[in-house]
Amino acid sequence: MTDTLLPNGKDSRGDSNYFRKGCNPFAQTGRSKVQNQRASLNQEIIKEMRMRAGAENLLKATSNNKVKEMVLLELSYVNANLQLLMGQLEGLNSSVDVYQSSQETANIPLIALGLKETKEVDFSTPFKDFILEHYSEDGNSYEEKIADLMDLRQACRTPSRSEAGVELLAKYFSHLPLVESRFFSPNHQIGIFFTWYDSFTGVPVCQQNLSLEKASILFNMAALYSQMGSRSNRQAAVGLVEAISSFQKAAGILNQLKETFTHTPSYDMSPAMLSMLIRLMLAQAQECLFEKTALPGVRNQFNTLMKMAQEAAKVSEIYDQVHQSMIQTPIKDNVPSLWATISQVKTNHYRSMAHYFVASALLDHQLGPNDDEDQQEKTLSQVYDRLPDGRSPLDILKNRDERQRIGKAHIRRAILGHEEALRIYGMCQHKMDAMQDILKASHQRSLKKHSDNESEEEFTDYTDAPDIISKTEHKAEMEVPATTKVKVTDFFQMLGPLSVFSAKQRWTAPRTIRLCPEDRDLGFTLKGESPVQVVSLDPLCPAAADGLKEGDYIVSVGDTECKWMSVSEVMRLLKDVNQQGIDIQVVSIMDSSPSMPTKSATFCGNLPKTYSMICLAYDDNGKNTKSRKVSKKSSFLSWGLKNKLKSASTLSLPTADPSDGLPWNKTFTSTNANRDSALY
């Protein structure tokens, strides 16, 4: 097997325990235990959903009142079990602690995505049959290559939380377009079903094409990066750099997933959910950038404190956007409530920190003769969008009482923000000691600052502190990792170049032609890259009489395979052919244009979703173009309408009929398209 490691040598029986690099199926970490529990819950959820679907069908079919009562009772039990299972799955998604670093005690925990679970897929029989039927070769000769592909997919179910694990997923992702070109014809389904479970709800989605497979692998790559970022040691600069990079890469992959796969039926990969997750990853990257700035310590200087205030305000602003996304319907019904709580807590926490920094700058520093008056005035004017009571920044800086009054207003607002963060955290069912300790310490620090600057002789001042303008010198940006484009070698390259030997092309079975040169002339010439093609065929030559045709591809000369050979290499084999001649094998390309595209069925929660993806050019003037090669058969729209009762939803476009005046650039959707909430 390729790309394997031997981590533990040999066991007591002398058997080697091999597994792929980047994969550790025997890991007993907290993260792996959570994934095992998630896989188990997914199986229980699909079992209950099948029972519910069967009970609902029986309820529709029966007219016996006693049977209906029994079915309704059973449905109530099944729905109750489903609610319990969904609650347990939400609890697993709320297990933030297992993804944190073991050294993490002084930072607020970060949120990591869980991996999507999938079922095993057996490529062996369908691929062998397709090779025999389509490529006219013995499928058993590719048994080892098929096994390597299956091993690679199996390894991707348990990737290690490292760059090697991401590279493993990227390697399989790079193989998928090659496998799709070889075996997945647009006109013929080979009977392979890919099942993936929703990361948040556990609802299974099943498809026969590779779109769901590709999208799910990309999602798991982003999930791995988020886990790597949350695991990093944020007490060291190196760990913070790793965390920033990981979250930015996670955001980049999620954005690639959002732009590339726009109709994925699994809700955890819907555009709305992906947009929220991208914001979450960038918010956590911005938080780590703030921690990196504060890691060496915040110098007690006016300009430095104001700069940190704006940085903290930026983190609070981004987390507020994340929280607003999480509480929108239907995202709030799928995302763990703990995630929304953490986002809201961080919004208040970092806003309070911003007010604390401004209060410290105003209360602890007075404008002295050696200070740069113009610089401080410029800094203060950039912190506020409006100044209280219409005062100028210079008036506030020079007036000690005014500085004290506004500084105290900021510290009061900081205290209120910390108390709000503690209140929201107190309502959370899942407690995290590290977060609670940080929130309490920040609250006590603000209370101490307030008591140090409070005098009993002073009257209570209710001046409101102005809002702080958010600003950052280092903005978190999406980053697409280079590992998403891994160069791989096609497992099935012996079938021939993909430009000719693919599932989309159809050709005749290999024909044996006897070449007998006349005066060293074979009667034809060769052209093209591999495989070489017969051109300028003399119709009176012996090869033509034996069945050779113009445009045939030569696949072997004698006993030598030449699918990958160039013209010069094939000519070298034919150069020394004697009068007895030599046998060659050729194939002819057949017309493979389909009369009607094949439907791609999706099963989501035991309900079939049918899509038909057709792109037709439409000419407003009714002129025929080369791309409009259609037949006068019944339109695909009428086909979809006749069969709409057989599928839960149908999305289809009609064939281009010049006699019809419909606007072909529009999408026709049946009335059943959005009835099922499982399909966004």
What's the average model confidence in pLDDT over 534-544? 88
What is the predicted pLDDT for the residue at 23?
63
Residue 370: what pLDDT?
66
**Residue (of 480, 482, 483) closest to 170 by Cα position:** 483
Give per-residue burial for 318-328: e unless 16+ CB within 10 Å, then b.
bbbbbbebbee
pLDDT of 653 strictly over 50: no
pLDDT score recorded for residue 35 = 62
- pLDDT score recorded for residue 481: 83
Largest CA distance in the chain: 120
pLDDT in the model for residue 50:
82
User: What is the model's pLDDT at position 94?
Assistant: 59
Confidence at 622, pLDDT banded by 50, 70, 90: very low
What is d(CA 174, CA 171) in angstroms, rounded to the nearest whole number? 5
* Residue linked to tokens 């430009």: 499
Residues of the chain with CATH 1.20.58: 16-95
Cα-based distances in Å from 326 to 112, 206, 336, 342: 15, 27, 9, 11
What are the helix (H) ranges across 140-210? 143-155, 163-183
Least confident of 174-178, 246-250, 414-418, 497-501: 497-501
The answer to whether residue 269 scores a pLDDT higher than 70 is yes
Highest average pLDDT, of 42-46, 102-106, 176-180, 458-462, comes from: 176-180
pLDDT of residue 671: 39
**DSSP for residue 256:** H
User: For residue 110, how far is the Cα from the chain centroid?
Assistant: 19
Residue 289 has pLDDT above 90, yes or no: yes
Confidence of residue 286 (pLDDT cuts 50, 70, 90): very high
Q: What confidence score (pLDDT) does residue 63 get?
A: 87
Q: Residue 226: its pLDDT value, please?
A: 94
Mean pLDDT, residues 536-564: 89
Nearest to 104 by CA among 230, 228, 225, 227: 230
- Percent of the chain clearing pLDDT 90 (strictly above): 33
Q: Which of 125-129, 180-184, 457-461 has the lowest mean pLDDT?
A: 457-461
**pLDDT tens-place string over residues 368-383:** 666 677 788 888 888 8
Q: What integer pLDDT is reported at residue 353 of this predicted model?
A: 95
pLDDT band at 623 (very low <50, low <70, confident <90, very high): very low
More confident: 477 or 459: 477
Token pair of 176 as six digits: 């998928």
> For the residues 606-611, what does the mean pLDDT come to?
43
Q: How far is CA 462 from CA 412, 413, 421, 458, 501, in A?
A: 9, 11, 22, 12, 79
609 versus 353: the higher-pLDDT residue is 353
Least confident of 21-35, 113-127, 276-290: 21-35
278 falls in which pLDDT band (50, 70, 90)? very high
Q: Average pLDDT for residues 629-654, to the nearest whole number?
A: 38
- Give one word for 644, left, alpha or beta, with left for phi > 0 and alpha for psi -120 to 50: alpha
Place 666 in a pLDDT band, splitting at 50, 70 and 90. very low
Closest CA to 552 of 544, 541, 564, 560: 544
Tell whether the model's pLDDT for residue 79 goes beyond 70.
yes
- SS3 state at 594: coil
| pTM for this model (two decimals) | 0.76
- Whole-angstrom Cα Rg for the chain: 33
Mean of the per-residue pLDDT values for the chain?
79
The span from the CA of 179 to the CA of 149, in Å, is 9
Inter-residue contact 157 to 118 (CB < 8 Å): yes
pLDDT digits (tens, 9 = 90+) for 248-268: 999 999 999 999 988 878 889
Please report which confidence band the pLDDT of residue 78 belongs to, taking 50, 70 and 90 as the band edges.
Answer: confident
pLDDT for residue 209 is more than 80:
yes
β-strands 506-507, 589-590 pairing: antiparallel
Tracing tokens 């319990």 back to the chain, one arrives at 84
The boundaries of every CATH 2.30.42.10 domain in the chain are: 506-588
3-class SS string, 368-424: CCCCCHHHHHHHHHHHECCCHHHCCHHHHHHCHHHHHHHHHHHHHHHHHHHHHHHHH
Cα(620)–Cα(627) distance, integer angstroms: 14
CATH architecture of 113-263+486-502: Alpha Horseshoe (1.25)
Q: What value does the mean pLDDT take over residues 280-298?
A: 93
Q: What is the pLDDT of residues 321-339, one digit of tens each?
A: 999 999 998 898 888 888 9
To the nearest 10 degrees (0 to 180), the angle between helices 237-260 and 271-294 is 160
Which residues of the chain are in CATH 1.25.40.280 domains? 113-263+486-502
Distance in angstroms (rounded) separating the CA atoms of residues 422 and 437:
10
Closest to 482 (Cα-Cα) out of 221, 180, 190: 221
pLDDT (average), residues 76-98: 72
Look at residue 639 in the predicted model and tell me its pLDDT.
Answer: 38
> Residue 632: pLDDT above 50?
no
Task: Return the pLDDT at 214.
Answer: 93
> Which pLDDT does position 385 carry in this prediction?
79
What's domain 506-588's architecture? Roll (2.30)
Quick one: fold of 16-95? Methane Monooxygenase Hydroxylase; Chain G, domain 1 (1.20.58)
Confidence of residue 12 (pLDDT cuts 50, 70, 90): very low
Mean pLDDT of all residues in 656-679: 39
Predicted confidence at residue 576, as pLDDT, reads 76
User: Of 592, 567, 585, which is closest to residue 502 (Cα–Cα)?
Assistant: 592
Place 142 in a pLDDT band, splitting at 50, 70 and 90. Answer: very high
Query: How far is residue 614's CA from residue 225's CA, in Å, rounded to a whole number?
Result: 35
Q: Evaluate whether 589 touches 553 at the Cβ level (below 8 Å).
A: yes
On the CB side of 265, CA atoms within 13 Å amount to 36
Confidence at 641, pLDDT banded by 50, 70, 90: very low
Query: Using one digit for the tens of pLDDT, what is the confidence trace for 402-459?
Result: 888 888 889 999 999 999 999 998 888 777 778 888 999 999 999 998 888 876 555 5
Q: Which of 515-524, 527-536, 627-636 has the lowest mean pLDDT?
A: 627-636
- Cα 93 to Cα 86: distance, rounded to the nearest angstrom: 11
Question: Does the pLDDT of residue 366 top 80, yes or no?
Answer: no
